[in-house]
Structure 1
Amino acid sequence: MKDEMVEFAAAHAADLKGLRIASTETTGGRVLEAVPDLELVRLKSGPLGGDQQIGALIATGEIDMMIFFVDPLTPMPHDVDVKALMRLAIVYDIPMALNRATAEILLRR
C-alpha cells in the first residue's frame, strides 16, 4: 500500500505540513520523495523493527494518530508486528486509520 500512502501524502500535503510524522524506512523515503518539505522521521524498515519503534512511540505518548494503510487481500511478511502495532493503538486509544477514507476523516480534526 506504499503507492497509496504516497498518493495520500501528496494529496494532503497542506494538511500534513507542520505535523511531526514517524514512518518506517521505505514508506517514509517514498513519501519524502513526493513531498520533501514534510517533517518526517524515518525509523527502521517494518520487518526490521520499525513497527516496534512506532509502537514504542505510541506507548510513550509521542503518537497522536496512526495512518497505516492495510491491504487485507495481501499477506504481510511481518503480520505479527503489524498486529502488535494495531493492538497498541487500541490499548492507548490512538485514532487509527487503516484505509484512505478513515485517514481523510482523521485529518479533518
Structure 2
Amino acid sequence: EEQHQEFLRTCPEFERMLVRSGIILLKYWFSVSYEEQSRRFAARNREPLKRWKLSEMDLEEHRLYVRYSMAKDTTFQYTDIKQAPWYVVPSDDKR
C-alpha cells in the first residue's frame, strides 16, 4: 500500500518531467466491459484453436474485474494530468 501511494504521488511529476524534456507522452486505456470480456473468454474456451489464449491468470483477473476497475479509477484520478492525459478507447467493439 505504501509503495502504491508513493507511485501515485510521484508518477504525475515524472510524467511532467518527461513532457518538459520534449517527450510526447500518450497514455491509452483500452476499456473492455465485464460482459464483453466474459463473452470473449467464453468464445475462446469454445474454440480449440483459440483456447491457448485463455489462461488461469486471465480467469482469475476476470474474477477481480471490479477490484481492478476501482484501482484503475484511482490511478486515473492521480495520473490524468493536463500535460499527459489518459485517452480511454471504448474497446467492446474491435472494429
Give the TM-score, by structure 1 length. 0.29
Higher relative contact order (CA 8 A, sep 6+): 2
TM-score between the two structures when normalised by the length of structure 2: 0.31
